[in-house]
Every structure is written in structure tokens, then in C-alpha cells.
Homo-oligomer: A and B are copies of this chain.
Amino acid sequence: MKIAIDAMGGDYAPMEIVKGVEIARDRYPDIEFLLFGTSEQVKPLVKDWSHITLIPTTEVIEMGDEPVKAMRRKKDSSMVRAANAVKAGEADALFSAGNTGALLSSAIFLIGRIKGVDRPALATALPSFAGENDQFVFMDLGANAESKASHLYQYGILGSFYASHVLGINDARVRLLNNGAEEDKGDEVHKIAHQLMKNSQSFNFLGNVEARELLEGTADVVVADGFSGNAALKATEGTALMMLKQIKQAIMQTGLRGKMGGLLLKPAFKDIQKKLDYNEAGGAVILGVNAPVVKTHGSAKANAVANTMGQIKKMIEKNLVPDIRTYIADHKDELQAAKNEL
């Protein structure tokens, strides 16, 4: 299998991207890596060229670039060239740690939507701290600021496929992020989405979930509109980071007693931090397009990059995209009915 790598995207690109690719190459001997990047910058970084090919590009999409414009204008950028390689069938998947919006645009406009999927969306696996499984799929993380009920309904299908194919969770328990447990909660979009999901034969819908229970493992797939999904994800991340910081600060301020306590608890804190650091395990996936497209955190270092290659490998091996495509094609009447019900 071949993965097209945007070697220039991310805070530590191309250095950490190349390092990560080399770790992944040593770890997964069946992957061929196509590195798209500025020759003078990337070439000196590669230590061993086996299973790695450099495709020289001359432009770079910056973090601050306006996504659609950048994708359209910077035709020789590492990201656009990598996306076009996937489109042309020269690679099976696309990896980037760069501009999320531009990657979304490249995925949707270059690689293309799966026929029948109205809005591809961003999904990630978050840790569950209770319940039967260790992780759950959370989507949409913000690909779409405005959502229709039928989009949320489709996320239920996409998320369930990701759960079964990548997380190994069959018959995933799907819930809708809403501001109350009862089915009449929320705005019109969420009320209608709840009804569509409740009546769906495509996945196992268990009702609403409130953001307070997000990490408690009551769902394997949590479907959210991109706006509040983004807010809930960021509030979760921000609070977790703030708590760890506060605890460290409190330890430092309570003198010798605190420092001793902190030292004794170091292994315990490490465990929690590791579980929380879901960015280390892989990236956010753009579900609903014609190939696996994965966005790693902008600040990803080599190890996170390498782990993301493992995640992509799984998506390819398990036939995630072809299986979604087949399912959607076989159930187009059901999907159309969901849209008509609005």
C-alpha cells in the first residue's frame, strides 16, 4: 500500500514528519511512502530511502492560509500534489499535519466525496474512562459549521463503520450529543436528527448523550453537529490541560510536602496523561471521502506521525472506504428517505 505524505504541513515539518515516516517504515514494511515536499528541505532529512520516494514540490500551504483559496491557487503545494496523487490512484491514502481547512478542501474537492455522502466530516477516537470499550468515535469535530439533520444521521453510519473497522467495535452504540437526554431536547436540527437516527436500520442508536457524560463510555460513536462538537472537544481538552497544570502548580506551591506527594504520584499522573493524550495515538480522519485522509495535530512529533501511519494502514487493510461506499450505494433509498423527511 502507498501513503501520500504532505511533508511540509505542521509546526515541526518537515523534520518530524520525515522522522515519523522513517519510524513507520521500519515498523510497517509493507507501506510505500510518497513524500511530497520541497526538495532542498526534505532530502537532507531522509536517512534511509528504502520504501520512501520523494516527489519534489515548490509550494507550501501555510497554517494561516485561507483554505479553499490556498487549495485552488497553490497547485504545486505538497498538500495539493499529495491529494492529487490519491485522486489519480497513485496512492491509497493521504496524510497531513498542516492546515485543517485546506486538507478538508483537498479531500472534498480533489479526492472527492463518496457518492451519497452529503457532508464529509472530521472524526477522532477519544478515550472512554468507563464503560465496555476504551475508546469512542467523536464526530463532527468542526468540518461543517452548519449541519442539517440528515448530515447528523449520515455521521451515524460513517462513525459506526470507523468503530467496527478501525476500533474493532461491532454494533457500535451510537448517541447524539444534545443538551438533554429526552428526545424532544435541542434545536430543530437535533430534534429531527434524533427521530431520523431512532428510526434508522443502519446503526444501533441509543439516544442522546450530554457533554457531561462524553468520556464516560456510554457510547461508541458520539454524533455532534460540527459547531457544538468542536466546542465540546475543545472544552474537554482545555479543561484536562488546565487541571493537570493546576495540580502541578498546587504541588509546587505546597512546599516540601507537595513536592514529595507529587513525586510519589508521578507514575499515576503519567498514566492519566497518557490516556488523555489521544493525539499521540493517531489523527483526525475525514470520513465520507474516497480515500483515507488523516490530519495529525499540527504540533505532532515523529512518534505521533508514525502512529498515524499505523492508523492509516488499518483503514486501508480493513477496507474502510470501499465498505462505506458499498453500504451507501446499497442503501441510497434509506438515505434519500432521511432527506425527504425533513
Asked if A69 lies at the interface with its beta carbon under 8 angstroms from chain B, I say no
**Residues of chain B with a CB closer than 8 A to A251's CB:** 265, 268
Bound state CA distance, A245 and B212, in angstroms?
Answer: 14
Q: Is the CB of A216 within 8 A of B242?
A: yes
Chain B residue, CB-CB nearest to A246: B272
A213-245 contacts to B, CB under 8 A, are 213-216, 224, 226-228, 230-245
Q: Is the CB of B261 within 8 A of A264?
A: yes
Q: Is the CB of A247 within 8 A of B227?
A: no
Asked if A262 lies at the interface with its beta carbon under 8 angstroms from chain B, I say yes
Asked if A342 lies at the interface with its beta carbon under 8 angstroms from chain B, I say no
Known A250-B268, A250-B271, A265-B258: A235·B231 in contact at CB below 8 Å: yes
Q: Is the CB of A258 within 8 A of B250?
A: no
A185-237 contacts to B, CB under 8 A, are 185-188, 190, 210-216, 224, 226-228, 230-237
Asked if A145 lies at the interface with its beta carbon under 8 angstroms from chain B, I say yes
Task: Report which of B129, B186, B246, B263 forms a contact with A145, defined as CB distance below 8 A.
Answer: B186
Asked if A146 lies at the interface with its beta carbon under 8 angstroms from chain B, I say yes
**Residues of chain B with a CB closer than 8 A to A234's CB:** 179, 210-212, 232
* Chain A interface, >50% SS class: helix
Bound state CA distance, A200 and B121, in angstroms?
Answer: 35
Asked if A329 lies at the interface with its beta carbon under 8 angstroms from chain B, I say no
**Residues of chain B with a CB closer than 8 A to A216's CB:** 238, 242
Asked if A269 lies at the interface with its beta carbon under 8 angstroms from chain B, I say yes
Q: Is the CB of B260 within 8 A of A272?
A: no
Asked if A254 lies at the interface with its beta carbon under 8 angstroms from chain B, I say yes
User: Whole-angstrom distance from the CB of A198 to the nearest CB of chain B?
Assistant: 19
Known A211-B238, A214-B235: A265·B272 in contact at CB below 8 Å: no
Asked if A47 lies at the interface with its beta carbon under 8 angstroms from chain B, I say no
Q: Is the CB of A265 within 8 A of B268?
A: no
Listed in ascending order, the chain A residues whose CB lies under 8 Å from chain B are 129, 142, 145-146, 177, 179, 185-188, 190, 210-216, 224, 226-228, 230-247, 250-251, 253-254, 257-258, 260-265, 267-269, 271-272, 275
List 8 additional contacts besides A228-B232, A251-B268; criterion CB under 8 Å: A142-B179, A211-B231, A214-B235, A232-B234, A239-B240, A247-B268, A258-B264, A258-B265
Counting from the closest, the 9 A-B pairs by CB-CB distance are: A261-B264, A250-B268, A261-B265, A211-B234, A212-B238, A235-B235, A211-B235, A239-B239, A212-B234
Q: List 7 A-B contacts (CB under 8 A).
A: A145-B187, A145-B190, A186-B227, A243-B243, A257-B267, A258-B264, A262-B265
